[in-house]
Amino acid sequence: MKKSLVLAMAMALGVTASAYAANPFSDVPAGHWAYDSVNKLAAAGIVDGYGNGTFGGDRLMTRYEMAQIVAKAMAKGANVDRLAAEFADELDSLGVRVAALEKKSDNVKITGEFRALYANHEGKGSISNDYESTLRSRIWITGQINDGWKYTGMLQNTQDLSTDSGDESTDFQRAYLEGRLGGMDVTAGRYNAFFADGNIYDNRADGVEVSYGDKIKIIGAAGKATDYLDKLGVSETTGGSYAGGAVVADFGKFNASAGYYNFKDILAKNSKLDNAIWFVGAGTEFGDFALNAMYLKGDMSYHDVDLDGLDDDGWTVGLTFKGAEAAKKGSWGLFANYYDLGGQTYIAHTTDANTFDGQGFKGYGVGANYTVAKNMVLTAAYYDTKSKFDTSDKDKIMWTDLTITF
C-alpha cells in the first residue's frame, strides 16, 4: 500500500489513532511513518493484514484486495466516492452497490476546445484584402441534474491577433438545460440554434427547442436570436425573435428534411424587418461518400411590405469523403460545397465563406481535414464567393485552423 493511500484512507475516517490499541502488525513498529494511520485503519476493521501478522506495506495489492478495503471503508461511512467509482466492477462482485457513488463522482464534467485560426482574404469591389488571425478557447461545463436532465455552460475567450491592439473578449456564451418532458426531448436556455443544417441559422439563441420521435423527428423552436450576428458583418445587431419547426427523417443511408422558420424584427428591436423562410433537403451515403442538397425560399418584408431587392430563393449542395476523427490519429477527410443562395434565404449562415452581409452569395468551397495527433485536427479550406446583390463584390479566402479538444 502506498504512503499517500494509507494517509488518505485514515483521514477519511475522521477519528484519531490515539483512541485505539497498539498496532497489531510486526512490520509496522512504533516510529514508522505510517504507524498512526495503519493503527487507525486496523482498529476500525478496514485493514487486517496477512495471516502471518504482517501488514505487507511494500507489497503491491491486487485490485480485488483494494476493493475489499474500499468496501470496508464505505461501510464505516468514509468519503471514498472516487475510489468507489474506480473499483466499481470489483465492488459489484463483492455485492456492494456503488451506482449512486459513480453518478456523484461523474456529476460535473469539464471539457475544452482550443482553436488557432488564420484566414487570408483576397477581395474585390468593396471587399478589402486583409487577414484574420485569432486564438479561441472554450471551456464546457456539464452538470448532471438527475437521470433525465443536465445543465451545460460554455465560457469563450477570443484573442484577435490581426489587430494592433490585440483585442480580447471573454463571454459566457452558453447556458442551457437538456432533458425529457412528456416523451419529448427539450433544450431550453442560451444554446446554439442550428436551423436547416445551418443554412438558415447557426448561432447562439435564447429559446426553447422540443423534438419528438426517432427515425422521423418533429421539431419545434421559438425564442430570440443572438444580439451579435457576426455573420452579418454588423456588430451589436439582433436576429430578432423566431418561431418555427421542421420534420427530419433519418433512415440510415438516406435522410430528408423540411421546415419553416419565421424571424421578426431583424437587426433591431421593433425594426419591422421580418423574414419567413422554408426549406426542403435530402441526403444519401454511398461508401465513404455523403451527398446532401437543400432548397430554400424566403419571404422578407419591411412594415408588412414585401422586399424585392434581394433574391428570395436558392440552393446548396455538399459532398464529403470520409472525415477526420479527433480520437483517431491519421484519420482524414475531404469536403466540397456549392452555394447559390438569395439574401432572403438565411439569417446567419454556417459557412466560413463570405456571405456579404446578408446580400445573398454564390460560389464554392473545398477543403480537407486531418488528425495530426489524438484530439488535434488540422483543417485547410479555400472559398471563392461573390455577392448576388452587387456582383463586383468578391472574396477568395484561404482558411486554416488547428482545433485541439481536451
Using N-to-C axis directions, what is the helix angle for 3-13 and 35-43, rounded to 10°? 50
pLDDT digits (tens, 9 = 90+) for 117-150: 999 999 999 998 999 999 999 999 999 998 899 9
pLDDT digits (tens, 9 = 90+) for 310-341: 899 999 999 999 999 999 999 999 999 999 99
- pLDDT > 70? residue 50: no
Distance CA 210, CA 143 (A): 20
- pLDDT > 90? residue 88: no
Distance CA 300, CA 274 (A): 6
Residues ≥6 apart with Cβ < 8 Å to 100: none
Least confident of 213-217, 265-269, 334-338, 381-385: 265-269
The confidence band for 204, taking pLDDT boundaries of 50, 70 and 90, is very high
Helices (H) and strands (E) in the chain, counts: 6, 17
In 3D space, the residue among 109, 108, 134, 131 whose CA is nearest the CA of residue 403 turns out to be: 134
Mean pLDDT of the chain: 85
pLDDT digits (tens, 9 = 90+) for 242-284: 999 999 999 989 999 999 999 999 988 888 999 999 999 999 9
Determine how many CB atoms are found less than 10 A away from the CB of residue 96: 19
pTM for the complete prediction?
A: 0.74
Which domains can be identified in the chain, with CATH numbers?
A: 3-104 (no CATH), 107-405 (2.40.160.10)
In 3D space, the residue among 11, 68, 10, 67 whose CA is nearest the CA of residue 42 turns out to be: 10
pLDDT digits (tens, 9 = 90+) for 141-174: 999 998 899 999 999 999 999 876 667 889 899 9
What is the per-residue pLDDT for 80?
A: 64
What is the per-residue pLDDT for 97?
A: 55
232 CB burial (10 A radius; 0-12, 13-18, 19+)? buried
Least confident of 107-111, 364-368, 400-404: 107-111
Distance CA 167, CA 204 (A): 21
The amino acid occupying position 144 is: Q
- pLDDT > 90? residue 289: yes
The arithmetic mean of pLDDT across residues 33-46, rounded, is 66
Do 312 and 344 form a contact (C-beta atoms < 8 A)? yes
Q: Which residue, chain included where needed, has cell 477526420?
A: 324
What is the per-residue pLDDT for 235?
A: 52
